[in-house]
Amino acid sequence: MVTAFLEAESAVRGDVGGTAKPDGDGAAAPVHGDEAAVVRRAPEETAGPLVARPRPVPAPSPTDLLVRDIKAYIEHHLGDTTLTPTSIAAANHISVRYLHHLFRRDGRTVGAFLRERRLEHCRADLADPAQAHRNVCEIARRWGFRDPAVFNRTFKTAYGLTPGAYRRRPFPPSRTGQLGQH
């Protein structure tokens, strides 16, 4: 593949004397005379169009990295009842307006993302037998919900059951019991 690249580079530059090959320091040098016959192609280069070549995975953009870091920050601070778009933006050294702009790319608001993550953690705790010693209000507070009534309404809207009814189900949680699928 390197040979094909060097040949193409040589053709673009218009090198005289044949195709390019790497010289001792790794730079391309023109190939002259009989040396051109010695240059061989790698097997994958001669296989033709039937061989699927893997495409390189593009590196994440700086914006993608920022969104990833912001989501990690939110995840780490879900239990903080004072976690708001303003505090998230300040902690990540961006404006609230830009924070909302970043989340619009995913088609949701910062508040919706925050609520979904909190609800998902509450749902997991309610389904976890190891958390049976905690009451519903404790679990809600643990994940940043301040008002039990608001938590109950929000949970029921998302999962189709009140938190208490969800916890009392006689069957283990399934993948269909996740957010927005009731």
- Over the chain (182 residues), what is each successive 10-residue block's mean pLDDT? 49 48 51 51 56 82 94 96 96 97 93 96 95 95 95 96 91 52 46
Single out the residue of 81, 72, 169 nearest to residue 123, CA to CA: 169
Output the pLDDT for position 25.
Answer: 53
Q: Name the superfamily (CATH) of residues 62-177.
A: Homeodomain-like (1.10.10.60)
Domain boundaries, the chain: 2-46, 62-177
DSSP, residue by residue, 90-120: HHTTS-HHHHHHHHHTTTS-HHHHHHHHHHH
Q: Output the pTM of the full model.
A: 0.62
Output the pLDDT for position 42.
Answer: 55
What span, in angstroms and rounded, lies between the C-alpha atoms of 56 and 53?
Answer: 9
